[in-house]
Amino acid sequence: MNHKSSLSLFPGVKFKLLALFLTTTALIPALSGAQDRGYDPGMLENGQYLFQKNCASCHGQAAEGTVKNWQQRGEDGKLPPPPLNGTAHTWHHPIKGLAHTIRNGTLSIGGNMPPWKDKLSNDEIFSIIIWLTSLWPDEIYQAWLQRNNS
């Protein structure tokens, strides 16, 4: 059975594909339209671009993660990449700790994340972190700010 006839055999399928396409494209502006918290929009845009280019393969295009159970160690005994969109515990770490993890990665401490300090500047890493926090709901963002200040 070729592709075309399967579509006409199941007319619902065509509609579902269209609906999926529309939902996905509708999500894209929502994602790039990160929460406005007074950060420079150009910096947020750059952060998103750098994240999608360098980090999305492991952490997901929208930082939603790429594995179902990010808390469960893999067969190598190492943790998988967690989501960074506010649904995991990234907000527990003040900005310095996040920058440290991104700069140095976790390979040297037995993890699976490569270091970025030779590929990304501190400013670029900062833009990525701020873009990530722009995806977080307000209460998570506020809790993170408090950790940064204490």
Residue 102 touches ligand HEC, criterion: CB under 6 A: yes
* Residue nearer to ligand HEC on the CB measure, 15 or 144: 144
Q: How far is the CB of 64 from ligand HEC (least distance, A)?
A: 13
Which residues neighbour 1 within 8 Å (Cβ) at sequence distance 6 or greater? Answer: 9
Q: How far is the CB of 51 from ligand HEC (least distance, A)?
A: 6
Measured CA to CA, the distance from residue 85 to residue 107 in angstroms comes to 22
Selected binder of ligand HEC within 33, 41, 111, 137 (CB under 6 A): 111
Among the listed ranges 7-15, 25-33, 94-102, 139-147, the one in contact with ligand HEC (CB under 6 A) is: 94-102
Residues 82 and 90 sit within 8 Å (Cβ to Cβ): yes
The SS3 of residue 141 is helix
Residue 55 touches ligand HEC, criterion: CB under 6 A: yes
Q: Which of 122, 150, 144 is nearest to 47 (CA)?
A: 122
Residue 145 touches ligand HEC, criterion: CB under 6 A: no
